Structure 1
Amino acid sequence: MLQNQITIKTLVIVLFITTLYGCKNEPKTPIDFPTLSEQDKRLSENALASMEVADGLYLELFASEPMVTNPTNMAIDAKGRIWLCEARNYRLFANPDNSYDDTGDRILILEDTNGDGKADTSKVFYQGEDINAALGIAVLGNKVIISVSPNVFVFSDEDGDDLPDSKEILFSGIEGVDHDHGVHAFVFGPDGRLYFNFGNNGEQLLDKKGKAVKDMYGQEIIANGKPYREGMAFRMNLDGSNLEVLGHNFRNPFEIAIDSYGGLWQSDNDDDGNRGTRINHIMEYGNYGYRDLSTGASWQERRTGWEIEIPKRHWHLNDPGTVPNLLQTGSGSPCGILVYEDDMLPQKFHNQLIHAEPGHNVVRSYIIDESGAGYTAKVENLVKSKDDWFRPDDVTIAPDGSLFISDWYDGGVGGHKAEDIAKGRIYRLSTNQEYRPVSINPNTEDGATKGILSGNMDVFYQSWQKLYSMGEASEPLLKGLVAKGGIAKARAFWLGLQIPTKSNEYIEMALKDEDPKFRIQGIRMARYKGKENLEKYLSILTNDKSQQVRREMAIALRHIGTKTAAEQWANLALQHTAGDRWYLEALGIGGDLFPDLYFNTWKNKVGDNWKSEAGKEIVWRVGAKESVPMMVDLIEDKNVPSSKLASYFRAFDFKDHPNKNNYLINMLAWNHPLQNQIQAYAIGKMDPTFVHGSSKHIKIVKEVLPKIEGTPEWIMAIKNLDLKNQNEALLRVVVNGTNKDIGKEAANILFNNNGAPLIDEFLNSKVPESSKIAVMDMLNGISNPAAIELLKKNITNKGLSHAVTRKMIETLGNTGSGQHELYQLLEDGELAEEYKTTAVLKLMTSWNNEIRTKAPKFLSTQGEGTLNIAALAERKGNALHGKEIYSTYCSSCHLAADTGIEFGPELSDIGNKLSKQFLYSSIIYPSTGINFGFEGYSFKMKDGKAYTGYILSRTEDEITIKMMGGTQKTLELKDIAEQEALEQSLMTQGLAQIMLEQDLVDLVEYLGTLKVDALE
């Protein structure tokens, strides 16, 4: 509900207007935002009319176009001035119509000089092509850190004239140039260190000379799985030394937020369309599960025991070694995030996360509660807009405690497309409409003592530096801060840690505090000092009553590896409570580097009680060799719940033991109540070399296969063990299987095993038409030459029905090699007139420019000429008819509302993510808005075969791609002759040019209805 601070005597009409708009300088005539034209909705003077603001808060438009364009990230200095990275030159390779400025993008400084809450001056701090589309800015005294892949720049303004006197490279070689998934903003922490992250396109860190950067433990920062994968979060000293990887295997974390106690928080974006965006509490050194930790496989590749719900499956949450999510927020495009540690906003937002979510046009707070060793959170909206162009991408605290919001303001967010490069806005959220930045001089003792409590990063940084420089002389000031409690005390503890003669005293003060938050901080302070005395410090907290404290103790033991540390870890493990995944993963993180030493110490302590529910979880999680026979014992237990088996067997993928394969094959002969399930899981976990190395082993495995035919475990066993002579069984699953995914996998294996004649015989038999169409669904995306030849031959078979033939055309058109054959059928005049529309639609998805552009010539009618997107956006369509159009044109590559094929991005929430104008643009010009992760590649193999699709996963030896029709294909790197990135989208090119204009309008109207309820 919208509400502003007004007196009881205010006129009813004013109350109505204020309630509607929640802002200062309300218009005299109420504006009904939804009734405005699309053009009028874009005007900045109507922006506040779209906003819903939380109780007790004012929202003001601080700046807008033309002063600001495309802000990507924001900082506020100690003077209260707003610093912005602009991105007018965002992805020009995908937006060629953008007016490129060859002087490059700008770093702007905006200022409100008269306190009216609106920027009235703007100056350029720096402009250059080397900061085009920068994603991060941090202002720390006279230093400005700009994050823009491939570099991180540090600008210095020594004379204070708001122009840089020097520019140095801190890091280089970061991938993700002009890409949302590159390097992001830096944050100054209360411990005096810098924090930052990059997305999964960042890949590596090099120093300014191009040399690989190593972390403080000697590991190169490279996302190759040895040991780090995908996106990463980092911490380092101000000069770049002692760099640590705090977490890895993220997809695209936008920023790190750090609280005064050293707690770390981050948002992360899912693969578009899977409703799996998330908020993470970062347990240091954890794996966050975007890809398979062991193999690097995509979350889409079948694994034992994966979750039914894709948002959970997305993050490998069923795997041992994956840190749980604080909160999954559904669909969206999570961006800037912070911990609000100031006092202007209402009390319920104090010390809570505030987050910009442009995908749902909202700025949210996540109200966090403790739960065991972890956390839960509920959502409170601060600002929500009815304008689907409102794209808040960053939030920042001003010196007076107000919250500033930067707005990318565009029809879409992320991907390769920018609908508008001339707009951008900055808002101020407050309880005081006048913007009067607090005047603090951090260079004085009094100013620094006040400034150290500020939520503004620059004020805090400068105050921290002053108190730090005072050394022991700061002690009286720090004692005063400690007496205040709360964040004052926490920040004072960190500063006390910096005084060499007093650091031990401050660590012990924190460790012995009654409040567990400070004891947690004390552990982090002790770790800061190094591992030499860490065991001694941790002994102070033996048997601490707080699970949160014990969680942090477990993590602290990660790099020690002594017998004393093993004893401490074992003691913590004895206190594990079944069901607390946070605590379990903390134990795993703490024990992963010395699993045998730590685990065996626990095993000796726990004795026969290891089979408690808590003990079973520890056996499941820890990768010690001794845990393997113990897992076998758990499975062999006649009372093991059926629901546990998949999880238990998945754990074998993360464990090693010299007798593991023998344990697994012996399971096949057990006499067990759940023997069928056990056999099914066991054969898929054996090493292929072990199985094929003995005819006895092969015989045992093949005796099990008929019992589990058609199950996920059956298809995994056939694939993983490369079992032959299974064609009859594979055909049965293709024809009779109820699981389409398994059927498609079975069909692919069948063709690879020379089983095409079996399919041909079935299609030409007298089985019902519906059965033949169902088999075609299973053949989608299979590019085996035998499959292509089979389809081509049968398309011209006049003995098949119209429906079956049309389905065959669609199926043939779902592979690159099939498209060539289909085009040739058109060229040779072998395709009947009634099938040409279906064929052309499929050929317009081709990456081959000649096929794509020439295919429409075979149609007798074409679309209605030049399309005006702005005019189309004003029209209303028929969503019901649009759903039919979707089924015709889109469902062969996209899934929406559980209908279609999962090849391109899922569209079930596309109405939330893209405005109507952006939807039109994406359909008419699909190659300008390719979603990250869906860039197409073509592969030419040494044997002459060719494949096209997007990459699901890549290892040292192979690449797995997803092809049209949804089929996956694994290609051995040694067999690839040529790999080429496709400039064109895999989505239909020029689709709008062959559709009736009203059909296009109806399609967009339907797509606009595809919305998953935003998280509230």
Structure 2
Amino acid sequence: LSKLPNGHNYVSAALKDANADLRITAIRAARQITAKGVLPLTVEQLNLLASDSEPQVRREVALAIRHITDDLAADIWAQLANRYDGQDRWYLEALGVSADGQWDKFFGTWLKLAGPNPTASAKGKDLVWRARTAASVPLLASLAGDKNVALKDRLRYFRAFDFNPGATEKSTALLELMKTNTDTEITKLCLRHLDPGFVKTSPLAQQNLQKLLDASYGTGEYMDLVQRFEPASEAKRLLQLALDKPMQREGRDAARQLLKQEQTPLLWATINGKDAAKAQNTLIALRGIGSKQSLDILKTVALDPKRPKAIRTEATRALGGSMDGEDLVLDLLQQGKIANDYKAVAVQGVSGAWRKNVKIQAAKYLDAAPTKTGKKLPPVSELMALTGNVANGKTVFANYCAICHQVNGEGSDFGPKLSEIGSKLGKDGQYMAIFYPSAGVSFGYEGYEVKFKDGSTTVGIVASKTETDLLLKFPGGTTQSYKMSQVVSMKKLDESLMTAGLHESMSQQELVDLIEYLSSLKRK
């Protein structure tokens, strides 16, 4: 009806109807028949609807004035904001959408109506939290620094700083918070939300950062701070961390950070030094990075005939510790560049590859060896007829499967938990899952190939992903956090990350015992 020549009359009538749904429909119809950028309703209608008793109608009014630059739109928004009850999150979001691109004007108009203490109510606190204008920063800082409120209830105000466009105002406010607070947790939060570039220019921020670095050295928190602020003064401590924890995430991250901060000469000095243990630990720490820089170092050491055998052995093994490294190992083997004495180590280095073809291709460069039994397995139908030993099967599980799966809390949290697998899959399904792991990948356990700006590539399961952070999970249950700002691409893999051909490393009896054990794991 609104599209008829006298459609405005129908809209006007519907706006006064007792049915809230009709009033909402009328607002939407008015927007459709009004030119873009023009107020869709009269001043009288907008003022009337802004005080409507139904919040869903007022939400619709907020959306109707979005991107309307008329000063009246700001007045209406302020009225709508004043009628927010401090609880309706959809209403609050409608206000946020409505103010898009005009936060300065809309929020400023509301402040004039809000009185001398705009954050005294839950309504005011929410509006300040949702605002995207530099004008809200002082109020946001006062809420974040309110010692009378539990810190857990103030965290959202700290997070809101990240979405506020007032760069200078934010930095000044957060710095002031650090000055007036002695709480270490507040200092951490302020630094987390301060721009790294600003921190480098502020002596106070630098001083507080150094205190946190000293207090958290050797932990994941320390690495988070170093990765965010990249202090050049931490190079020697990063190297020490890589040497102390070469096989742990902190050590690998420390080596990665040294490369990122152009501290390659420091790594080379350690590798070329007289302390063989330090040289080996440096190479181990470089193993899982997979960037061009790290692979160049490992390759140079691995192929250098003048270096000690132990050092070359460690470098050769470390080469296969990443996806790009696996490909490099295959290339070097194909070109005959890896000496015979180091081929077995190179093949061992790629033994953890999820790509079965990598392991098969690498193994071709070793002298042929028989499989565990040398016998071909019978059809699944025949295997199902065999009875295994549950106790032996539990041992087989511990040896072959527990690195990725858990049963009743034991094992590694990587693949699907198998505590009740006997109630979910029959023996035939279990055999097929082992023989053909890529035929059916459980939801949430899909593998992803992730490429980074430093040229490295890794493969794992996405444990969590936000706009800013990525957490990947790897076999053995280990996890690694990354910043999305460093991610170039993420590609979902067609194949399962479960090792293909796992049964080939077992005897037939071990396989049968394993299935017998898995079949015994039923829902209680």
Aligning the two structures, in what range does the TM-score lie when normalised by the shorter sequence?
A: 0.5 to 0.7
Give me the whole-angstrom Cα distance separating, in 1, the residues matched to 2:28 and 2:228: 44
Q: Could you list the per-position Cα deviations for residues 190-245 of structure 1 after superposition, in whole angstroms to 9, with x for gaps in the alignment? A: xxxxxxxxxxxxxxxxxxxxxxxxxxxxxxxxxxxxxxxxxxxxxxxxxxxxxxxx
Give how far 1:680 is off.
Answer: 1.0
Give me the whole-angstrom Cα distance separating, in 2, the residues matched to 1:910 and 1:535: 61
Kindly indicate whether the alpha-carbon contact (under 8 Å) linking 1:940 and 1:979 is maintained by their aligned counterparts in 2. Answer: no
Alignment of 1:269-668 (within 5 A): 496-497=1-2, 499=4, 501-502=6-7, 504-505=9-10, 508-509=13-14, 512-514=17-19, 516-530=20-34, 532=38, 534-536=40-42, 537-611=45-119, 612-660=121-169, 662-663=171-172, 666-667=175-176
Q: Which has the higher helix share?
A: 2
Give me the whole-angstrom Cα distance separating, in 2, the residues matched to 1:574 and 1:1011: 58
1:949 is paired with a residue of what secondary structure?
A: strand
Amino acid at match of 2:158: F
The structure 1 residue matched to 2:372, chosen from 844, 850, 861, is: 861
Partner residue in 2 for 1:828: 341
Give me the whole-angstrom Cα distance separating, in 1, the residues matched to 2:382 and 2:63: 58
State the percentage of identical aligned residues. 28
Partner residue in 2 for 1:768: none
Q: Could you list the per-position Cα deviations for residues 285-322 of structure 1 after superposition, in whole angstroms to 9, with x for gaps in the alignment? A: xxxxxxxxxxxxxxxxxxxxxxxxxxxxxxxxxxxxxx
1:750/1:829 CA distance change after superposition, 3 Å: closer
Alignment of 1:855-894 (within 5 A): 861=372, 865-866=376-377, 868=379, 885=396, 888-890=399-401, 892=403
Kindly indicate whether the alpha-carbon contact (under 8 Å) linking 2:396 and 2:510 is maintained by their aligned counterparts in 1. Answer: yes
Give me the whole-angstrom Cα distance separating, in 1, the residues matched to 2:27 and 2:523: 42
Kindly indicate whether the alpha-carbon contact (under 8 Å) linking 1:734 and 1:743 is maintained by their aligned counterparts in 2. Answer: yes
1:936/1:858 CA distance change after superposition, 3 Å: farther
Partner residue in 2 for 1:993: 504
1:680/1:786 CA distance change after superposition, 3 Å: farther
Give me the whole-angstrom Cα distance separating, in 2, the residues matched to 1:616 and 1:745: 39
The answer on 1:851 being equivalent to 2:357 is no
Amino acid at match of 2:18: D
Partner residue in 2 for 1:423: none
TM-score scaled to structure 2, two decimals? 0.67
2:50 is paired with a residue of what secondary structure?
A: coil
TM-score scaled to structure 1, two decimals? 0.38
Give me the whole-angstrom Cα distance separating, in 2, the residues matched to 1:506 and 1:1005: 72
Alignment of 1:102-117 (within 5 A): none
Give me the whole-angstrom Cα distance separating, in 1, the residues matched to 2:286 and 2:87: 42
Give how far 1:936 is off.
Answer: 5.4
Q: Could you list the per-position Cα deviations for residues 919-955 of structure 1 after superposition, in whole angstroms to 9, with x for gaps in the alignment? A: 654543345556799565586999xx75343697999
Amino acid at match of 1:584: L
Give how far 1:861 is off.
Answer: 0.9
Give me the whole-angstrom Cα distance separating, in 2, the residues matched to 1:741 and 1:914: 35
Give me the whole-angstrom Cα distance separating, in 2, the residues matched to 1:764 and 1:601: 67
1:497/1:938 CA distance change after superposition, 3 Å: closer
Q: Could you list the per-position Cα deviations for residues 397-451 of structure 1 after superposition, in whole angstroms to 9, with x for gaps in the alignment? A: xxxxxxxxxxxxxxxxxxxxxxxxxxxxxxxxxxxxxxxxxxxxxxxxxxxxxxx
The answer on 1:842 being equivalent to 2:349 is no
1:989/1:555 CA distance change after superposition, 3 Å: same
Partner residue in 2 for 1:362: none
Give how far 1:650 is off.
Answer: 1.8
Give how far 1:598 is off.
Answer: 1.9
1:840/1:728 CA distance change after superposition, 3 Å: closer
Give how far 1:657 is off.
Answer: 1.3
Give me the whole-angstrom Cα distance separating, in 2, the residues matched to 1:792 and 1:967: 27
1:627 is paired with a residue of what secondary structure?
A: helix
Partner residue in 2 for 1:782: 289
Give me the whole-angstrom Cα distance separating, in 2, the residues matched to 1:520 and 1:678: 45
The answer on 1:947 being equivalent to 2:452 is no
Amino acid at match of 1:995: M
The answer on 1:924 being equivalent to 2:435 is yes
Give me the whole-angstrom Cα distance separating, in 2, the residues matched to 1:581 and 1:1011: 43
Partner residue in 2 for 1:721: 229
Give me the whole-angstrom Cα distance separating, in 2, the residues matched to 1:594 and 1:1009: 64
Give me the whole-angstrom Cα distance separating, in 2, the residues matched to 1:787 and 1:779: 9
Kindly indicate whether the alpha-carbon contact (under 8 Å) linking 1:938 and 1:979 is maintained by their aligned counterparts in 2. Answer: yes
1:1010/1:646 CA distance change after superposition, 3 Å: farther
1:929/1:619 CA distance change after superposition, 3 Å: same
1:939/1:572 CA distance change after superposition, 3 Å: closer
Partner residue in 1 for 2:306: none
Kindly indicate whether the alpha-carbon contact (under 8 Å) linking 1:684 and 1:713 is maintained by their aligned counterparts in 2. Answer: no
2:140 is paired with a residue of what secondary structure?
A: helix
Q: Could you list the per-position Cα deviations for residues 18-52 of structure 1 after superposition, in whole angstroms to 9, with x for gaps in the alignment? A: xxxxxxxxxxxxxxxxxxxxxxxxxxxxxxxxxxx
Kindly indicate whether the alpha-carbon contact (under 8 Å) linking 1:625 and 1:655 is maintained by their aligned counterparts in 2. Answer: yes
Amino acid at match of 2:54: S
Give me the whole-angstrom Cα distance separating, in 2, the residues matched to 1:528 and 1:566: 21
Give me the whole-angstrom Cα distance separating, in 2, the residues matched to 1:628 and 1:919: 58
Give me the whole-angstrom Cα distance separating, in 2, the residues matched to 1:873 and 1:909: 21
Alignment of 1:686-701 (within 5 A): 686-692=194-200, 698=206, 701=209
Amino acid at match of 1:629: P
1:688/1:881 CA distance change after superposition, 3 Å: farther
1:595/1:939 CA distance change after superposition, 3 Å: closer
Deviates more, 1:712-721 or 1:817-826: 817-826
Give how far 1:643 is off.
Answer: 0.8
Give me the whole-angstrom Cα distance separating, in 2, the residues matched to 1:507 and 1:923: 68
Q: Could you list the per-position Cα deviations for residues 834-887 of structure 1 after superposition, in whole angstroms to 9, with x for gaps in the alignment? A: x99x87852464663753664995565157535645666788878887666555
Q: CA RMSD in A?
A: 5.7
Partner residue in 2 for 1:50: none
Give me the whole-angstrom Cα distance separating, in 2, the residues matched to 1:980 and 1:579: 40
Give how far 1:719 is off.
Answer: 1.0
1:534 is paired with a residue of what secondary structure?
A: coil
Give me the whole-angstrom Cα distance separating, in 1, the residues matched to 2:508 and 2:167: 66
Partner residue in 1 for 2:322: 815
1:684 is paired with a residue of what secondary structure?
A: helix
Give me the whole-angstrom Cα distance separating, in 2, the residues matched to 1:647 and 1:1012: 41
Q: Could you list the per-position Cα deviations for residues 112-144 of structure 1 after superposition, in whole angstroms to 9, with x for gaps in the alignment? A: xxxxxxxxxxxxxxxxxxxxxxxxxxxxxxxxx
Give how far 1:695 is off.
Answer: 7.0
Q: Which has the higher strand share?
A: 1
Give me the whole-angstrom Cα distance separating, in 2, the residues matched to 1:586 and 1:812: 54
Kindly indicate whether the alpha-carbon contact (under 8 Å) linking 1:926 and 1:987 is maintained by their aligned counterparts in 2. Answer: yes
1:990/1:665 CA distance change after superposition, 3 Å: same
1:726 is paired with a residue of what secondary structure?
A: helix
Q: Could you list the per-position Cα deviations for residues 594-641 of structure 1 after superposition, in whole angstroms to 9, with x for gaps in the alignment? A: 222222222221133321233222212221221223222222333242
Amino acid at match of 1:618: L
2:457 is paired with a residue of what secondary structure?
A: strand
1:811/1:785 CA distance change after superposition, 3 Å: closer
Give how far 1:989 is off.
Answer: 2.7
Unaligned runs of 5+ in 1: 1-495, 766-771, 799-804
2:51 is paired with a residue of what secondary structure?
A: coil
Alignment of 1:644-793 (within 5 A): 644-660=153-169, 662-663=171-172, 666-667=175-176, 669-672=178-181, 674=183, 676-692=184-200, 698=206, 701-709=209-217, 714-726=222-234, 730=238, 745-746=253-254, 748-749=256-257, 781-783=288-290, 784-785=294-295
Kindly indicate whether the alpha-carbon contact (under 8 Å) linking 2:402 and 2:411 is maintained by their aligned counterparts in 1. Answer: yes
